Structure 1
């Protein structure tokens, strides 16, 4: 047999098994849960993880922000529509699911039954570990665990919320995401879900000026779309904003951009060990964000 022909037959098989052995070419799967209609930062965080080649978003869930004083009618539907709009702008096809219309109920079956919650359940029953990035209220994840408590140990949650004093371990829950569903947070803290939290007092380092951001990304189609979200959103921030959610997504993708510490929560906050981000490198996060967006435009 011709040695060249033999090599052509054997080499692809060898590379295939090498890939299986070392995980080459594999992408990590994540569920992303976002209250996209609430603020500007969700679009930026979603654009990063959707553009990142190392990660596959298996479902993009819409989260409510119905408890907010700024709430529009049907906030979850508002988030759902914007999720689909962003995917259209990026030319991507990702499963988009509706989540809860509002926070969990006050008594009885407290779960909000939704397509998002049941998809989390289905994935957790099929896999030993399912990662969910939550950019808003914890309603969808907590409802999934309330419906099927046995999935708790299979879930790894990354969430933006709460404020913590790292010297005293005092936890405060007076931020937007926590207040959108206080029971959901309590329920998950009391569960066996693996929780990794980006606190507000760390993510605040993500403040950036409009001019700096627009100069960095405004020369691309996707960048212009993201800047338009900044321009069109109705709030008082014009010259600068904190892109909170971008911090969580970026350090998930690039652990070297953040530092973590283990916090033992108090008895009224689960009395458990929770991983908290104690610091982030905001400059590195933004530089990587610009690079990923630029690479995506060239695909």
Structure 2
């Protein structure tokens, strides 16, 4: 009888041990999952409308550790001034002020694109990316979301290639056909610094995911839903409404009443906040580039992204 009791105790003890082991493992995994993602957003904020919405959304995301928002140039726009990066910088500063947010750095990016392959254009933004990347722990990477031209990130890579293993780049740009794996780089973001795009594609060991224009164009907001959520509110909510209403669309005469807007930039923010709402597949880079596999977002759940976006903005 004593033997059976001891054996039973051992069995119970083993069950308890393994139960605690599994619990601790799951807890550790949960903690890892809940750990905020170290992040820099590089944005041509003054270019259109959706950049502002994307930045506000990112600031409100609890799963992000938003370290900085750098400004980017967009010199090819017909509405471009001589200093587009300063325009982006100004809006970034206004957003943080309106949201009363502290602790997010706002480094100024380059006002001109790369003019020669392999030659960076140094800026506060490129230096900030390098410095932040080197502060990352061995088990983590600095995530960089590029919402506009790739100038600042490409420059950082060229200035200090040792950061390549320390960063993961999430780029919003070019068009892509999944069925044939064909690329069309004649897209606005890519066109604002074609050389910088080549740097990202040719950097063999760079961890690169791309939210293409082909995929992100599926996320569309209507003015009706924007008004329903933001109209008659103060602060940054009012700022977002005014941006929608006052920005002149130079590329099309369609939708003169501004009833819809493609939220290209919001798509990549939501995809990073909730990865399960976006399908990422591996594809070979274009034949003219260094042949390697990069991640491309091929499909997004727009309904869930919209719901998540407006749920987050309720905090305003």
- 1:172 equivalent in structure 2: 184
Partner in structure 1 of residue 158 of structure 2: 146
Using the TM superposition, name which of 160-169 and 60-69 deviates more.
Answer: 60-69
Greater Rg, structure 1 or structure 2? Answer: 2
Write the distance in 1 (CA, Å) between the matches of 2:278 and 2:29.
30
Hey, what does 2:297 align to over in structure 1?
277
* CA shift for structure 1 position 219: 5.2
SS at match of 2:38: strand
Superposed CA deviations along residues 205-242 of structure 1, whole A, max 9, x for unmatched, are 11222112211332543333211110121225512110
Q: Structure 1's 25 and 208: CA in aligned 2 closer, same or farther, altered over 3 A?
A: closer
Closer/same/farther in 2, CA of residues 211 and 22 from structure 1, 3 Å limit: closer
CA distance in 1, matches of 2:116, 2:286: 23
Q: Secondary structure at the match of 1:131?
A: strand
The number of residues matched between the two structures is 278
1:103-118 paired onto structure 2 within 5 Å = 103-106=113-116, 110-118=119-127
1:98 aligned residue (84, 91, 108): 108
List 4+ stretches of structure 1 deviating above 4 A. Answer: 18-21
Return 5+ residue gaps in structure 2 as ranges.
1-26
The residue number in structure 1 matching 2:17 is none
Distance in structure 1 (CA, Å) of the matches to 2:212 and 2:272: 14
CA distance in 2, matches of 1:268, 1:66: 25
The C-alpha deviation readout for 1:46-105, integer Å capped at 9, x for no partner, is 000101122121111000111323212200000000000011111102211100111012
Contact 1:100 1:139 in 2 (8 A): yes
In structure 1, the partner of 2:15 is none
Secondary structure, in 3 states, of the residue corresponding to 1:185?
Answer: helix
Displacement of 1:149 in angstroms is: 1.5
**How far apart, in 2, do the equivalents of 1:280 and 1:223 lie?**
26
The answer to whether structure 1 residue 202 and structure 2 residue 215 are counterparts is yes
Instruction: Flag structure 1 segments of 5+ consecutive residues without an equivalent.
Output: 1-17
Structure 1 residues 24 and 210: alpha-carbon distance in aligned structure 2, compared to 1, 3 A threshold: closer
How far apart, in 2, do the equivalents of 1:215 and 1:174 lie?
35
SS where residue 164 of structure 2 aligns? helix
- Residues 279 and 219 of structure 1: CA distance in aligned 2, closer, same or farther (over 3 Å): farther
**TM-score, with structure 2 as normaliser:** 0.83
Alpha-carbon RMSD across the aligned residues, in angstroms, is 1.9
Please report how far the alpha carbon of residue 20 of structure 1 lies from its aligned counterpart in structure 2 after TM superposition: 11
